[in-house]
Amino acid sequence: MVTLEDVCFEYASESAALLEAPIPERDGDGRLDHVSLRIQPGEFVLLTGPSGCGKTTLLRLINGLIPHYYPGRLTGTIRVNGESLAGRSLDEIAAASGTVFQNPRAQFFNVDTTSELAFACENRGMAEAEILKRIEETTARFHIEKLIDRNIFHLSGGEKQKIACASVDVARPAVILLDEPSANLDFEVTMQLRALIQIWRDAGKTIVAAEHRLAYLWDLIDRAVVLEAGRIVQVLDRAACDRLAAGGDGTAGLRTMRLISPRAVALPAVLPEENCLTLQNFHFDYRSGFFERRHSARKPVLAVNELHIAVGQITALVGANGAGKTTFLHCLCGLERRCKGVMHYCGRSFGRRQRQQMIFLVMQDADHQLFAESVLEEVCLGLPARASAPNERAAAILESVDLLPYRDKHPMSLSGGQKQRLAVACAIASGREILLFDEPTSGLDDRHMRQMAALMTRLKAMGKTIIVATHDAEWMQVCCDRKVAVDGCGY
């Protein structure tokens, strides 16, 4: 059982939190206000609500990261399996629950996948034979045989999420916490995640998930808890949750209830005779590491002889996790030195260095490209060197992505969805002709997903060429013009 009784929490000062927290990612202003919740053993409870409403903060209270890693003012009582968490060490708390974070990179301690799966069990002093048995069982249950003995840092975002889920499963906790677990997963892998959650549910696990997307799990949950500004505003049984989500009611931060594969979205391909940019001889594979010599080097990660992208339109790159979408974006914008491909655009040819000056990439993990001390300063850094009235221009851009109230906040104090929108604001500020987005709607609620679609539509009206790697079929239907399917290493 998980019980919260009249819990209030407010993070310590921003500077203190950033210095003390090794994973400095906070959910909006991080405040919870008189939250009381009782979750029965074996119950599956969904936490939902707008981005920044306090879902992640609530999970951190249950798994002990608050106050051990995230200091602040905490009142009220929190119990897991009947034991109060007050005064207990983090390793004691960790034995009772396992967490899959929105950003799986935040929970990895090893370079290779097999060591990561064994890590928690090794730290508890389990026998080697038992650890290997558990890894074998989890590997078969989650269908991740191809991810064993791999370099974690060469996996796609979705593959990393699968390893994160598997590492929790190996430890066999009684309580499982999921923070936007489907955010980086393709349609097929999301269905695999659903199957794993079903296994956990059948095994009597207590499951608490923070999600905007209900379609893949609505019939598994027992209750939905809707949060807003740190308070519980509704508690819904499954039938009520179904009625709420059926209409796509964005006021609760919920997405569509319809299960849609991105490949099923009807969008035309790009024809060579259209106004398009042409990519030729984009080839790339990972050859530097032991794990990739054993696995990935047998087949190139990317093999594009010729590909056409419509100019001035929004093109979606769709495909399974690990198919090469992110690698393609990195090669296109010039991040991968070993990729020697050429882009033909407006009668000119552009090599890697030239592409770096005309293309802006918004990464899947926004932490990799946020450097400034404030949100406003971050956008100012993206403006052209001699831009007039930079603060005013940056403020206008922040307002367009609903971040102006956070202008003086540190970027690392924002929630995952807010960081993503800040990276998009930097792309707008750059003024580049070609904009690349890697899963820009992961972790976004209905309102901010539609806001992102409106932003991209506005950028298209300005003449920008936009290429988006995405698993989000709902978002594709709202704003994309064309679709390119990625199959393995080819297009």
Asked if residue 447 has pLDDT above 70, the reply is yes
Contacts (Cβ under 8 Å, ≥6 apart) of 132: none
Q: Report CA 322 to chain centroid distance, whole Å.
A: 15
Residue 32: name the closest of 13, 12, 7, 50 by CA: 7
| Average pLDDT, integer, range 264-286 | 79
Beta pairing partners, 343: 279, 350
Asked if residue 298 has pLDDT above 60, the reply is no
Q: How far apart are CA 424 and CA 395, in angstroms?
A: 14
| Average pLDDT, integer, range 402-407 | 94
Residue 52: name the closest of 340, 419, 428, 476 by CA: 419
Q: What is the pLDDT of residue 24?
A: 36
The amino acid present at 486, given as its one-letter code, is V
Asked if residue 23 has pLDDT above 50, the reply is no
Asked if residue 398 has pLDDT above 90, the reply is yes
Q: How far apart are CA 56 and CA 53, in angstroms?
A: 8
Domains of the chain and any CATH numbers: 2-246 (3.40.50.300), 264-288+298-485 (3.40.50.300)
Least confident of 283-287, 371-375, 427-431: 283-287
CB 135 within 8 A of CB 118: yes
Pick the more confident residue, 257 or 322.
322
State which of 27-31, 344-348, 408-412 shows the largest mean pLDDT.
408-412
Pick the more confident residue, 109 or 180.
109
Residue 113 corresponds to which tokens in the numbers above? 């996948």
> Which position has the token pair 């893949």?
216
Average pLDDT of the chain to the nearest whole number = 85
Helix (H) or strand (E) holding 73: strand 72-80
Residue 179 corresponds to which tokens in the numbers above? 């923070």
* Beta-sheet pairing, 342-345 with 348-350: antiparallel
Q: Please write the tens of the pLDDT for every residue from 141-150.
A: 888 999 999 9
Contacts (Cβ under 8 Å, ≥6 apart) of 342: 279, 280, 281, 349, 350, 351
Residue 209: name the closest of 102, 309, 114 by CA: 102
The amino acid present at 302, given as its one-letter code, is L
Asked if residue 400 has pLDDT above 50, the reply is yes
Max Cα distance, the chain (Å): 70
Percent of the chain with pLDDT over 90: 46
